[in-house]
Amino acid sequence: MTDHLTIAPAGFADAGEILTVQRAAYVTEAQHYRDPFLPPLAETLDEILAVLAGPATVLVARAGHRLVGSVRALVDDAGTAHVGRLAVAPDQQGRGVGARLLAEVEAACAGRASRFALFTGAASERNLRLYRRHGYEIVGHRPDANGISLAVLEKRLVSPAGSDA
Ligand SMILES: CC(C)(COP(=O)(O)OP(=O)(O)OC[C@H]1O[C@@H](n2cnc3c(N)ncnc32)[C@H](O)[C@@H]1OP(=O)(O)O)[C@@H](O)C(=O)NCCC(=O)NCCS
């Protein structure tokens, strides 16, 4: 576990570092799929600033003053929180930062969401392992805009009344 890790809502001032961490983190995915135009890599600073304007929840992880990770989630009208852009700086991966970000973005949405949804490359085994460990199950597959096969995963919260069954 990374020492002195803090997780907090992102502000506009974090946009540049989010862009930098996101681009660095997703390069390995781009190499894996031989596609340098994966949406997280093609996203611009202005697009990140637009996301930060709301209504999405955007969290950042800091080790000391350094921004080392980010994640976002948007809750739709049906109560599904769409989690995305989970990214950790390459030299900080494998230390629990991604797991903390995932748990905290779920907690930030929990009052508004009964279900969490996310996707990852169908061949990204380590990502799939991380999500399974956090209670996600593969519910389907679909191609992304560039034709890469994505695994769609969901996690349902148990409703106290059992009314969302
Ligand atoms: C996926 C990612 C956010 C995980 O963050 P992390 O801080 O390395 O994850 P944690 O340390 O909390 O957990 C490690 C687990 O994540 C998974 N993992 C995925 N990519 C990993 C990587 N490059 N290094 C280490 N673990 C990775 C593994 O399942 C690992 O568990 P294991 O011990 O069973 O191998 C991070 O590796 C990353 O930014 N990857 C590139 C971008 C990406 O693919 N994002 C997800 C797209 S849906």
- List, for residues 67-104, the tens digit of each pLDDT value: 999 999 999 999 999 999 999 999 999 999 999 999 99
Q: How far is the CA of 126 from the centre of ligand 1 (A)?
A: 6
Question: Under 8 Å CB-to-CB from 8, ≥6 apart: which residues?
Answer: 59, 60, 62
Q: What is the pLDDT of residues 13-59, one digit of tens each?
A: 999 999 999 999 999 999 999 999 999 999 999 999 999 999 999 99
Among 116, 126, 128, 129, which residue has the most ligand 1 atoms within 8 Å of its CB, making it the best to mutate? Answer: 126
Output phi, psi for 13, to 5 deg: -65, -15
Reduced to 3 states, what is the DSSP secondary structure of residue 162?
coil
Name which residue sits closest to atom 47 of ligand 1, judged by CA: 120
Beta bridge partners, 140, equal 152
The model's pTM: 0.93
Sheet arrangement for strand 115-121: 5-9, 57-63, 66-75, 80-88, 115-121, 149-156, 137-143
Does the beta carbon of 60 sit less than 6 angstroms from any atom of ligand 1? no
Does the beta carbon of 29 sit less than 6 angstroms from any atom of ligand 1? yes
Domains of the chain: 5-156 (3.40.630.30)
Structure tokens at 161: 């009344």
Q: How far is the CA of 35 from the centre of ligand 1 (A)?
A: 19
Q: How far is the CA of 112 from the centre of ligand 1 (A)?
A: 26
Q: What is the mean pLDDT of the chain?
A: 94
Q: How far is the CA of 92 from the centre of ligand 1 (A)?
A: 10
